[in-house]
Amino acid sequence: MAVESKKPAHLINAESIGRFVGSEAGRETIRRELVECGQVKAGEQALILLDDQAPDGTEQVIEVIVGMLRQMGLGVTVMHTDALLPLAHGGMPGSFASVEKYRLPKAWFQAILAADVVFDYTASGRGAQKYNVDFYTLSSYYGKRIIGRRAVEAPEVMWSEDDPNRPNAEAMLFPGDLLRAIGDRINEKLFATAETQKEFRLTNPWGTDLRFTTLPGDICAPSAGIRRHPRSDQFYGDDSNRLYRGIAGVQVTQTCEGVWVTRFCSLLGGRLSEPITIRYKDGFIAGAEGGPDAKRLLDLIADEPAGVHAILMGINPKATPFRAGEYMLGNDGAGAGVAHIGMGGAGMFYRSGKLGGVGANHFQVGNLPKISWWAGDECICRDGVLLTLQDPAIREKARQYGNPDELLRQFSWPAEV
Amino acid sequence: MSAIADVFRHFILTALDHPQGPAVARTFNRTLQFVLTDDEPFYVQIQDGHMEVHPGDSGLDWKYKDWARVTCVHASAQLLRQVIAGRRIMSDAFFDEELAFYPSRAADRNSDITVEGSIVPWLYALVRLALEQGQRTSYQAYVKELGA
């Protein structure tokens, strides 16, 4: 795949970011990102990364962050470039096509190496540590503390269902330790299903029907990837440091068959002209139907087969993925009852009884609403309602933070979604 | 014990001489089962900061029964020799598909394996500390030889 770069489509803009940084909940979210995710300490040197591919308005977030960090006693350096990891084929953030071995400019590599903590607000900040070799090396080999974020963890929280001009504070400030507990409770069921070699099934009203199996060691993520705070150990990465976008599911599958019906694809630039049906066989895309977008998808993966890298569901009961009754196709999968599938990822994996790759070009084929997810015979999520939220152990845990009825009440899906 | 297992044993134990080594080694208790494409397997047992290298297969069922105790490291003796010699970085080898870890995500119910979390960066750190300690020791010997 040849690499070409341009300003990508974004789900947020300067106006929505302005509302975010101007709100009390937005500033508290930014502060928590620095303290709870970044674990910043006075005297440290912080480095902030930005590129022109990031959404308009990201500078507003950075301005706030610089002020907060300096107030906390850190030294701050901001580096800005045109495209740190170029987005290929008109793709949007979340697509890492053709950049798995893209090398960072040496000055940037050395600057990251020299910093104590790095906040990466470039367009591809989140995910770079998995899908680009230099960021992987900096994070995993050199153990650098890199907090890779887009300007916000999940764009769907930039609006409230009752007020489109106000960020969704309930979702952003949902108790992190309660999200961790919900994730762990879901994982218990996923582990049990994998350990007894039973099958998972995922469906949604658009026609998706996928059946898959996995090894217990391929269940992810512990505690839904929500940050643990405080913590002192050094071996943690970006995807175990989120604030409110909790996700649970599986990484590579041992078997995966069925269809995924979507209206959105990060590799194809976002919203599709018509729904496409993607057929999966043996964990790889085996075909796609649905007009020119389906053909283009198949053309783009013709050189390298695209295999399942992860199938994950959102767990935040307050992260409403619709606005004015309309499903936000470009949501980031934070909300309970939503699931996404990630295709391709660098490295080799044990799957289908042998070691092999799943294609190095990472992209996503959309977040699906109103999912149902079965783990063996047990339904974890039914018609978009996360049943784990009513688990007695979770309700008991929720009492530490407030009224369980209110905290665990999931948004109601509009009938038309 | 195969030659590469013996070489790796000497090398990885050097990490414990690094000022940060003992604390890093104590981070997890884990068996790392090395499966080599061009030589005999061996495994590293790390328990409470103590490291032992043994030849052969650990006998642990990494797929199901013992998945929370063991991680398989797919590599080659040639790659390990290059890493020990400082000619390759393990993370580059991962992207070159010469190094792999399986299963690939959950180390146990509470921690990760890969870049998201723990076990792989932990192994990389031990290797990096062993390299740094080797360089430090040889430089000290060089300085001593110079009489500086």
Q: Report yes or no: A217 at the B interface, CB cutoff 8 Å.
A: yes
Which residues of chain B neighbour A346 with C-beta distances below 8 Å? Answer: 94-95
**Of A197, A233, A346, which is closest to B27 when you measure between CB atoms?**
A233
pLDDT digits (tens, 9 = 90+) for B50-87: 999 999 999 999 999 999 999 999 999 999 999 999 99
Q: Do A237 and B90 touch (CB under 8 A)?
A: no
Quote the CA–CA distance of B12 and A259 in Å, as a whole number: 47
pLDDT of residue A12: 83
Query: Which among B102, B110, B122 has the least Cβ separation from residue A349?
Result: B102
Residue A136 with chain B: CB contacts under 8 Å: 91, 94-95, 115
Tell me what the pLDDT averaged over chain A comes to. 93
Q: What is the pLDDT of residue A9?
A: 60
> Is the pLDDT score of A231 beyond 50?
yes
| Facing residue for A235 by CB, picked from B68, B94, B121 | B121
Judge contact between A7 and A93, C-beta under 8 A. Answer: no
Most confidently modeled range among A157-161, A241-245, A299-303, B83-87: B83-87
Task: Kindly list the residues from chain B whose CB atom is less than 8 angstroms away from the CB atom of residue A251.
Answer: 104-105
Would you state the pLDDT for residue A8? 55
Give the phi and the psi of residue B129 in degrees, each rounded to 5: -65, -35
Q: Which of A216, A234, A357 sits opposite B67 (nearest CB)?
A: A216
| Residue A4 reports pLDDT greater than 50 | no
pLDDT > 90 fraction of chain B, expressed in percent and rounded? 93
Residue of A nearest to B118 (CA): A235
**Which pLDDT value is given to residue A87?**
87
Q: Provide, as residue numbers in chain B, all residues whose Cβ is less than 8 Å from the Cβ of A220.
A: 105-106, 112, 116
Provide residues of B within 8 Å CB-CB of chain A: 27, 62-64, 67-68, 71-72, 74, 89-92, 94-95, 97, 100, 102-107, 109-122, 124-125, 128
* Out of B95, B106, B116, closest to residue A239 by CB: B116
- Give me chain B's average pLDDT, please: 96
Q: What token pair was written down for A340?
A: 């996404």
User: What value of ipTM does the predicted structure carry?
Assistant: 0.97
> In a 10 Å sphere around its CB, with 0-12 CB exposed, 13-18 middle and 19+ buried, how is residue A136 labelled?
buried
Is some CB atom of chain B closer than 8 A to the CB atom of A137?
yes
What are the φ and ψ backbone dihedral angles of A155, each rounded to 5 degrees? -65, -20
A188 to chain B, closest Cα gap in Å:
8
* Local confidence band at A365 (pLDDT 50, 70, 90 cut-offs): very high
Nearest-Cα residue of chain B relative to residue A138? B91
Predicted confidence at residue A46, as pLDDT, reads 98
Residues 231-260 of A with CB under 8 A from B: 233-240, 251-252
Contact A349 B104 (CB under 8 A): yes
Model pLDDT, residue A215:
98
Q: Which amino acid, one-letter code, is at A273?
A: S
Give the per-residue pLDDT at A2: 35
Q: Does residue A1 contact residue A97 with C-beta atoms inside 8 Å?
A: yes
The half-sphere exposure of A413 on its side-chain side, counting CA atoms within 13 A, is: 19
Report whether pLDDT(A221) > 80: yes
Token pair, residue A238, equals 């970006």
Report, as an integer, the average pLDDT of A386-409. 98
Is the CB of residue A336 less than 8 Å from the CB of residue A238?
A: no
Determine the pLDDT at residue B68: 96
Nearest to A191 among B74, B109, B116 (CB): B109
Q: What is the C-alpha separation between A252 and A213, in angstroms, rounded?
A: 9
Q: What distance in Å separates residue B136's CA from the closest CA in chain A?
A: 17
Condensed to tens digits (0 to 9), the pLDDT of residues A87-111 reads 887 777 778 888 999 999 999 999 9
Burial class from Cβ neighbours inside 10 Å (0-12, 13-18, 19+) for residue B140 reads exposed
pLDDT tens column, A371-396: 999 999 999 999 999 999 999 999 99
Instruction: Write out chain A residues lying below 8 Å of B89, CB-based.
Output: 137, 141
Residue A202, beta-bridge partner list: A210, A373
CA dist A31 → A38, A127, A152, A310, A334 (Å): 10, 22, 12, 30, 20
| pLDDT > 60? residue A3 | no
**pLDDT given at position B23:** 96
Q: A218 and B62 in contact by Cβ < 8 A? A: no
A109–chain B Cβ distance below 8 A for any pair? no
Cα pseudo-dihedral A329, A334, A340, A343, rounded to 10: 110
Give residue A1's pLDDT band: very low, low, confident or very high (50, 70, 90).
very low
**CA–CA distance from A244 to each of A19, A42, A176 (Å)?**
19, 25, 7
Reported as a single tens digit per residue, the pLDDT across A23-78 is: 999 999 999 999 999 999 999 999 999 999 998 999 999 999 999 999 999 999 99
Could you tell me if A197 lies within 8 Å of chain B, comparing CB atoms? yes
